[in-house]
Amino acid sequence: MVGSLVSFRQSQQPPRRQSLLSAYITHPDCARHEMGPHHPECPERLGAIQDHLLVKGLLDYMLPHDAPLATEEQLSQAHSSLYIKELLAASPTEGYYALDPDTNMNPYTIKAALRAAGAAVHATDLVMRGEVSTAFCSVRPPGHHAEYGACMGFCFFNNVAVGIRHALNVHGLQRVAVIDFDVHHGNGTEDIFKGDDRVLMCSIFEKGLYPFNGEEAKGPNMCNVGLPSRSGGEKFREAVTNEWIPALNAFKPEMIFISAGFDAHREDDMGNLGFVEADYAWVTQQLMTVAKEHSKGRIVSCLEGGYVMSPLARSVAAHVKVLIGAD
């Protein structure tokens, strides 16, 4: 079903002013990548999200777009040329090719990864051109663990990093913020942007989880807050209010990107932070407020983690409802 919504919506919906809509970007290729039976980062994630957004009526307020393929030039803004070439060359013609114990490629992985990164680029273009207010990229594989020259943790290309560098280098922005509320630290995003004073990274993550770092920032442009297990939404909100918001207001970002991971939910066994849907809605509202103040409302959100179908779908819906202004 993923991606079929584009042609259906374009034929069924009456025309609306695009400036009032948010973009919903996905592609069927993203559901063809899979890493083996029982792997948590599975194709069904996208179907669960799209079905729930459709049932809740949220897609009525979003403009559907197919994710294009990212080009090597676009990828090279965030990754080394050698890494890109080696990854493309490693694509198997059948079966699986293991890149690390948790990260496998099948014959469709590369195209899915190119679509996922391309979605971030396309979302950036749409928002910067004023064609949509905000954008949500419902894509996989995720990206925030992918470093400048290495894949890991289910991630191949760092989707938000590719989008951010496109905003900076093509659209000429001077200050861009990236927010990461996945339960796992976005080590790849930190690796790519450490020391880049055009980018502010604000993140939370659960201490002691993969990739087992993040508490010691790699650059002055990092605002990473590690939370103890079972912190719950209250400690999350304290971190956002006391750490993120002052940093964001001081930085005055011209655009905000979100690494939207939902595996900190209390029903997701990937972590133990104990968030609920209301926490994701609340943090999205805080970011919307910052974006309206400093960024002309420009936000691009890209799916990261979240591995239990029901809480994932419900949490994405809570996030998207605020993102599109339907809260």
Measured on CA atoms in the order 150, 156, 158, 162, is the torsion positive or negative?
positive
User: Do the beta carbons of residue 205 and residue 185 sit within 8 Å?
Assistant: yes
User: Angle CA(49)–CA(231)–CA(191) in degrees, nearest 5?
Assistant: 70
What is the per-residue pLDDT for 20? Answer: 60
Is residue 226 within a helix (H) or strand (E), and if so which, with residue range? strand 222-227
pTM as predicted: 0.94
- The alpha-helical segments, DSSP class H, found in 274-308 are 277-294
**Residue 71, CA atoms < 13 Å, CB-side half-sphere:** 4
What is the per-residue pLDDT for 298? Answer: 98
User: Do the beta carbons of residue 177 and residue 251 sit within 8 Å?
Assistant: yes
Burial (CB count within 10 angstroms: exposed 0-12, middle 13-18, buried 19+), residue 312: buried
Give the chain's domains with CATH numbers. Answer: 22-323 (3.40.800.20)
Q: Tens of pLDDT along the chain (327 residues)?
A: 454 454 444 444 433 333 469 999 999 999 999 999 999 999 999 999 999 999 999 999 999 999 999 999 999 999 999 999 999 999 999 999 999 999 999 999 999 999 999 999 999 999 999 999 999 999 999 999 999 999 999 999 999 999 999 999 999 999 999 999 999 999 999 999 999 999 999 999 999 999 999 888 899 999 999 999 999 999 999 999 999 999 999 999 999 999 999 999 999 999 999 999 999 999 999 999 999 999 999 999 999 999 999 999 999 999 999 999 987
What is the per-residue pLDDT for 74? Answer: 98
Is residue 163 within a helix (H) or strand (E), and if so which, with residue range? helix 159-169
Can you tell me the distance from the alpha carbon of 287 to that of 284, in angstroms, rounded to the nearest whole number? 5
Q: What are the C-alpha distances in Å from 209 to residues 152, 160, 227, 298?
A: 14, 22, 11, 31
Residue position matching structure tokens 């991606």: 3
For 95, list phi and psi in degrees, rounded to 5. Answer: 65, -150
User: Angle CA(53)–CA(39)–CA(89) in degrees, nearest 5?
Assistant: 100
User: Do the beta carbons of residue 243 and residue 162 sit within 8 Å?
Assistant: no
User: Do the beta carbons of residue 136 and residue 122 sit within 8 Å?
Assistant: no
